C-alpha cells in the first residue's frame, strides 16, 4: 500500500518536473527567438542595455502601468539605457518574429544585444531595475 | 477588434480555484482516491451551475478576508472562464466515471489533463478553455458572443491591474 503511494508520488513529481521544464523551455525558446531577431532592430551592437517594448495604441495597461514604469527606469538610468517601443499593430512582422502573443511584452537585452529576460505582461519598475542590474 | 463592455473579474478567485483543483487532483492520484476526483468534479459542476469558481468560496471566505491573497481585479469577460470551468467539469466527470468503472489509465489521464490545463492557467496565464470559447465565438456559434479584451491574445490573461 505505502509503496504504491510512493510510486504514485514519484510519478506525480515526475510529471510536475516535466511540466515546469516544458514551461522554462518555452521561455528559453522565446529568448532564443529574440536573440536570433535582434538585428531586425539594430545594425550595430547597442553597447548598452536595451528594453524592447511591444505595445499597441489600445492597450490600457501599457498606458497606465507599463509606460510609467519604463519612464521611471529611464529617468533613473538616463543615457545608460535604450528603450525601443514597437507598436505591434504597425509592425506585426516584428511581433510575430519575436514571438509576442500579448501586450505589453518587454525583452531585456544586454550590451551585446543578447536577449536575457522576457516579461509577458506588465513588468513594474522594480522588476525591470532588478533585471537590468543582473545584466 | 470590436469594442465591448468588459466586466470586473477577480483573477485571484480563479487562481485559487485552479490551485485547489490541481492540489486535490494530485492528492487523489497519489492516494488513489477516485472519490476525491469525483468530489472535485462535483464542486466544479456546482460552480458552473452557480456561475462562480467552484472553490472560489475558499478565496472569498478565507484567503481574501485574512489578506492571504490580494484581489487581482481585471477588465475581462467572465463567460469564457465559466465555459472553461464547464469543460473542466466534463473532463473531471468523465475521468471520475472511468475510474469508478475500472479504467484507471483513461481516468487518471483525464484527471492529469485537467491538472495540466489548470496549471497552465494558474502559472502561465493562459486559459485553454477561454481560447476555445473565443475560437468558437469567431465562428459565431450561438451563445459565444464575447471577443478577447483589446490587445490580449485569445485565452491569455489581460494585464491591467485595478485595485478594489
**Does A61 have pLDDT greater than 80?**
no
Contacts of A62 in chain B (CB under 8 A): 151
**Does B3 have pLDDT greater than 70?**
no
ipTM score assigned to the predicted complex: 0.73
* Residue B80 to residue B61: CA distance in whole angstroms: 24
Q: How far is A45 from chain B (nearest CA, A)?
A: 31
Least confident of A70-74, A86-90, B45-49, B122-126: B122-126
Please give the pLDDT value at position A101.
Answer: 78
Residue B122 forms part of a structural domain:
yes
pLDDT classification of B161: cutoffs 50, 70, 90: very low
Of A15, A23, A61, the CB nearest to B124: A23
Mean pLDDT for the stretch of residues A14-23: 88
Please give the pLDDT value at position B17.
Answer: 97
Residue B155 forms part of a structural domain:
no
pLDDT in tens, B64-89: 999 898 888 888 999 999 999 999 99
Q: Chain A residues contacting B, CB < 8 Å?
A: 4-5, 8-9, 11-12, 15-16, 19, 23, 56, 58-62, 64-65, 101-104, 120-122
pLDDT classification of B156: cutoffs 50, 70, 90: confident
Could you please report the per-residue DSSP string of chain B? Answer: ------EEEEHHHHHHHHHHHHHHHHHHHHTT-HHHHHHHHHHHHHHHHHTS-TTHHHIIIIITTTTSS---EEEE-HHHHHHHHHHHHHHHHHHHHHHHTT-HHHHHHHHHHHHHHHHHHHHH-B-HHHHHHHHHHHTT-TT----PPTT--TTBPP---B--
If one counts the domains in chain B, the total is 1
Please give the pLDDT value at position A122.
Answer: 81
pLDDT classification of A71: cutoffs 50, 70, 90: very high
Cβ contact, residue pair B30, A12, below 8 Å: yes
C-alpha cell at B37: 476526483
**Does A41 have pLDDT greater than 50?**
yes
**Does A52 have pLDDT greater than 90?**
yes
Mean pLDDT for the stretch of residues A67-74: 94
Please give the pLDDT value at position B159.
Answer: 55
**Does A25 have pLDDT greater than 90?**
no
Contacts of B27 in chain A (CB under 8 A): none
Cβ contact, residue pair B156, A60, below 8 Å: no
Contacts of A102 in chain B (CB under 8 A): 151-153, 156, 159
Please give the pLDDT value at position B1.
Answer: 47
Reply yes or no on domain A3-133 having CATH 3.40.50.150: no
Q: What is the mean pLDDT of chain B?
A: 91
Using DSSP's 3-state secondary structure scheme, residue A20 falls into helix
Please give the pLDDT value at position B157.
Answer: 79
CB neighbour list of residue A22: distance below 8 Å, 6 or more residues apart: none
Of A8, A56, A102, the CB nearest to B156: A102
Least confident of A5-14, A54-63, B67-76, B107-116: A54-63
Please count the other Cβ atoms lying within 10 Å of the Cβ belonging to residue A84: 14
Give me the domain span that covers residue B66.
9-138
**Does A108 have pLDDT greater than 80?**
yes
Mean pLDDT for the stretch of residues A93-108: 87
C-alpha cell at A83: 528603450
* Residue B130 to residue B112: CA distance in whole angstroms: 19
C-alpha cell at B123: 502559472
C-alpha cell at B23: 492540489
* Residue B104 to residue B29: CA distance in whole angstroms: 10
Cβ contact, residue pair B26, A12, below 8 Å: yes
Strands A115-120 and B7-10: unpaired
Please give the pLDDT value at position B95.
Answer: 97
Cβ contact, residue pair B153, A101, below 8 Å: yes
**Does A55 have pLDDT greater than 60?**
yes
**Does A21 have pLDDT greater than 70?**
yes
* Residue A116 to residue A119: CA distance in whole angstroms: 10
**Does B162 have pLDDT greater than 60?**
no
Residue B13 forms part of a structural domain:
yes
Residue B2 forms part of a structural domain:
no
pLDDT in tens, B31-64: 999 999 999 999 999 999 999 999 999 999 999 9
Amino acid at each position: 500500500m505505502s509503496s504504491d503511494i510512493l510510486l504514485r508520488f514519484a510519478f506525480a513529481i515526475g510529471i510536475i518536473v516535466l511540466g515546469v521544464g516544458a514551461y522554462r523551455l518555452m521561455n528559453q525558446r522565446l529568448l532564443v527567438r529574440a536573440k536570433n531577431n535582434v538585428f531586425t532592430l539594430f545594425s550595430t551592437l547597442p553597447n548598452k542595455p536595451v528594453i524592447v517594448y511591444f505595445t499597441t495604441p489600445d492597450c490600457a495597461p501599457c498606458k497606465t502601468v507599463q509606460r510609467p514604469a519604463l519612464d521611471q527606469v529611464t529617468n533613473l538610468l538616463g543615457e545608460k539605457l535604450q528603450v525601443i517601443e514597437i507598436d505591434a499593430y504597425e509592425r506585426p512582422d516584428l511581433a510575430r518574429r519575436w514571438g509576442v502573443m500579448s501586450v505589453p511584452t518587454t525583452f531585456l537585452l544586454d550590451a551585446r544585444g543578447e536577449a536575457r529576460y522576457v516579461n509577458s505582461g506588465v513588468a513594474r519598475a522594480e522588476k525591470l531595475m532588478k533585471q537590468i542590474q543582473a545584466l | 477588434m470590436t469594442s465591448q463592455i468588459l466586466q470586473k473579474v477577480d483573477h485571484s478567485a480563479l487562481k485559487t480555484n485552479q490551485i485547489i483543483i490541481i492540489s486535490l487532483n494530485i492528492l487523489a492520484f497519489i492516494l488513489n482516491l477516485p472519490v476525491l476526483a469525483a468530489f472535485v468534479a462535483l464542486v466544479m459542476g456546482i460552480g458552473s451551475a452557480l456561475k462562480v469558481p467552484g472553490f472560489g468560496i475558499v478565496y472569498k471566505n478565507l484567503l481574501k478576508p485574512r489578506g492571504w491573497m490580494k484581489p487581482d481585479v481585471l477588465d475581462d469577460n467572465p463567460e469564457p472562464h465559466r465555459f472553461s470551468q464547464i469543460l473542466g467539469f466534463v473532463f473531471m466527470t468523465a475521468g471520475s466515471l472511468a475510474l469508478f468503472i475500472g479504467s484507471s489509465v483513461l481516468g487518471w489521464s483525464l484527471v492529469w489533463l485537467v491538472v495540466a490545463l489548470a496549471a497552465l492557467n494558474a502559472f502561465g496565464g493562459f486559459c485553454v478553455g477561454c481560447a476555445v470559447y473565443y475560437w468558437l465565438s469567431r465562428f459565431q456559434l450561438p451563445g459565444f458572443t464575447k471577443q478577447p479584451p483589446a490587445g490580449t491574445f485569445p485565452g491569455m490573461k489581460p494585464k491591467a491591474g485595478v485595485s478594489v
